[in-house]
Structure 1
């Protein structure tokens, strides 16, 4: 009897090991590589060039190449027939994770259905013909004046990369103005931003560029800026209130000295964004528009900014039970909402209830008519998510572009 029990135990253990390796082998390859092997070539998929062989130092370049080059691939190719799968019950959390991990080597030729709520932060790769269908741009002449607004603090180390991203934009530079709002830096952020602003106008022929100094946060050390502790939940109300105040100061100053048609908020610490970013945002024809912001970790795409979302009946019900003075923030526990990256099956432009600030476009007239970033709680939200709530109350459209992806750098 004891022998049979031991055999059963061994069989169960063996079955568990097989199950684990079957579903998570790709993840193990990424997380359990010995340090001595990190310099070996690794196959990293990109969305335009199916595979590239790069070393550890080349991973960043690969995804930057993707961002700057993807906008140049506008040829229309036929969409794979019946590419959107509607059977939601088939796509469990484990199934979604497995498909997303495997898509690094075999990009998906179909679009998974929208889940009832987001349960995984892994984002799959797709075949080029699907991407081309959802990212094709019309052949037209653009005339809209664009103001890019970028709040910065202790950002000296990322500003040169940010300049590279800006000058790679396809949109006519003569229609783009760039304004930095510097607050509380203790490094050379202001000086560097002023120097780069001059380069943008003198060398790269941008319409205008300048930097403003605020003193909302006073001097904050570089180390404190980079600490993950700034994301601690209990600090979010004060932190995001200051961010909202900085954004409102910057947009008010810019609207007083210029006359843009659209304001585009872009974080300076983004690793890269596509060269056709502005054209893609304008395609939405929306008052408030945002793409998903992702990170790349060991070749796996994951959601970085969890502020772009849509409410569900479950999320609305759970919020209705909270006191009015409660701050609702995403990314700190399981969510009852659907994140933007999970809405691809609905198409190219989808309605949202919350937006983030990594990249955010607002019709300038909306700001002029009183659309601000709430500095205090508004419908239990604040800053960018509060802006989305306020925009919808004012009757403005709030939409997301799930197929347009921007990538955040390491924090």
Structure 2
């Protein structure tokens, strides 16, 4: 049989190379990625993905080719969620309960992100949400956050989070400076914490999904926690629970590293604090941790046992909670407990949230001997 002129002129080596190239291309396409094969969680992550793009950002959504009917794009589906199937139990990890970690972020701390990535709770059940102010410092924080996210989400599969949402505030912050001294001035507290409440509520209402079991509020300047933070907090199976927030520092007298209390917003009311509240006007708020306004409340920060053999599971009821590392059952938020941006029983933000949760029938608790650590400026 006569061979065509084009084939007679083709170098046999070229044909062999073309065949090898085709085989290599097919192997590359159909082979699993090394990270997916090593972790074995690729298929599991796929099974927990959202079914359609209308799902809230609690779960990852893997975009498929658009479905068309009769040459037209199919209409959006009607989505039904069985919220009664959700659980929030003491064995959260083994029950595959989804955790939403929410962080108002004005500055980006590398230690915060590194600590977040080290959390041992399965990352395929963790979604992240951030809200960032539209300021020069906020823009820098957003850029640094996006760089960290890109590195983590393109790294090993087991380190990747299920989904990440970044919001930018639609209002100007009342205090431009984020320096610790400026943030904690007493005269700045009302407007600052009311603005923080608005930011927290915007973040919560945008990201809370129907499959969320737990919401962990984690401040952007919390740079050290146990890797088992989520398991340690959820195992108590409480509606609202908060650890003790401390800060590492170098003692100028001993020149040795030590720890000191940082968050004074977790407390039990006193007779004096209730008297002060009863005498306040409707728009006044009570603040904790300021010498100008002694309330004589029982502060969880002052009840800590720092000894090595302390009972980290010791638990106590609270009337107010701080928000540095606050674990909340999602049903508490679904019931309507949010962060009041107005005086609610003379409380705002996280302390006002505790008051609101209690009015809805939920109780708040604290772990005085379980520590998380705040960045030391």
Supply the distance in 1 between the matched residues of 2:343 and 2:353 (Cα, whole angstroms): 11
The whole-number CA distance in structure 2 between the counterparts of 1:295 and 1:200 is 27
For residues 274-330 of structure 1, give each alpha carbon's deviation from its aligned partner in whole angstroms, at most 9, with x where no partner exists.
Answer: 111101110221111111111123233211111011112333233323333321001
Which residue pairs with 1:152 in the alignment? 105
Q: What's the TM-score, normalizing by structure 1? A: 0.61
1:236 equivalent to 2:189? Answer yes
Instruction: Provide the residue aligned with 2:179 in structure 1.
Output: 226
SS in 2 for 1:261: strand
Q: Does 1:303 align with 2:239?
A: no
| Preserved contact between residue 184 and residue 220 of structure 1 (Cα < 8 Å) | no
Please give the alpha-carbon distance, in whole angstroms, between the structure 2 residues aligned to 1:341 and 1:331. 10
Residue ranges of structure 1 left out of the alignment (5+ in a row): 1-136
Q: State the TM-score, normalizing by the size of structure 2.
A: 0.66
Query: How do 1:169-318 residues align onto structure 2 when only pairs under 5 Å count?
Result: 169-187=119-137, 188-203=140-155, 204-217=159-172, 224-226=177-179, 228-255=181-208, 259-298=211-250, 299-318=257-276
Question: Is the CA contact 1:350–1:402 (under 8 Å) kept in the aligned structure 2?
Answer: yes
1:228/1:139 CA distance change after superposition, 3 Å = closer
Structure number with bigger Rg: 2
In 2, Cα distance between equivalents of 1:140 and 1:246: 29
- Hey, what does 1:355 align to over in structure 2? 321
1:201–1:208 CA contact under 8 A, matched in 2: no
Seen in structure 2, the aligned counterparts of structure 1 residues 227 and 278 have a Cα distance that, compared at 3 Å, is closer
SS state of the match for residue 271, structure 1? strand
Residues of 2 paired with 1:197 and 1:362: CA distance? 25
1:340 and 2:300 aligned: yes
Aligned partners of 1:241 and 1:383 also within 8 Å: yes
**Matched residue of 2:259: which SS?**
strand
Tell me, in whole angstroms, the C-alpha distance in 2 between the residues paired with 1:252 and 1:168: 27
Name the CA distance, whole Å, in 2 between partners of 1:389 and 1:267.
Answer: 20
1: CA distance between counterparts of 2:301 and 2:290?
Answer: 18
CA offset digits 1:55-114 (Å, max 9, x no partner): xxxxxxxxxxxxxxxxxxxxxxxxxxxxxxxxxxxxxxxxxxxxxxxxxxxxxxxxxxxx
Please state whether the residue corresponding to 2:368 is helix, strand or coil: coil
- Structure 1 distance, partners of 2:154, 2:93, is 27
**Residues in 2 aligned to 1:301 and 1:338: alpha-carbon distance in whole angstroms:** 20
In 2: Cα distance, 1:277 partner to 1:358 partner: 13
Distance in 2 separating the partners of 1:344 and 1:234 = 29
Alignment RMSD (CA, Å): 2.4
State the distance in 2 between where 1:237 and 1:138 align. 39
Shift in CA distance, 220/312, structure 1 to aligned 2, threshold 3 Å: closer
2:94 to 127, 141, 145: 141
Matched, 1:392 2:345: no
- Structure with the largest fraction of helix: 1
Query: Which piece of structure 1 moves more, 295-304 or 318-327?
Result: 318-327
Alignment partners' CA distance in 2, 1:395 and 1:202: 43
Structure 2 vs 1, CA of residues 259 and 302 (structure 1 numbering), >3 Å: closer, same or farther?
A: same
- The ranges of structure 1 where at least 4 consecutive aligned residues each deviate by more than 6 angstroms after the TM superposition are 137-140
Aligned pair count reads 269
Give me the whole-angstrom Cα distance separating, in 1, the residues matched to 2:93 and 2:346: 41
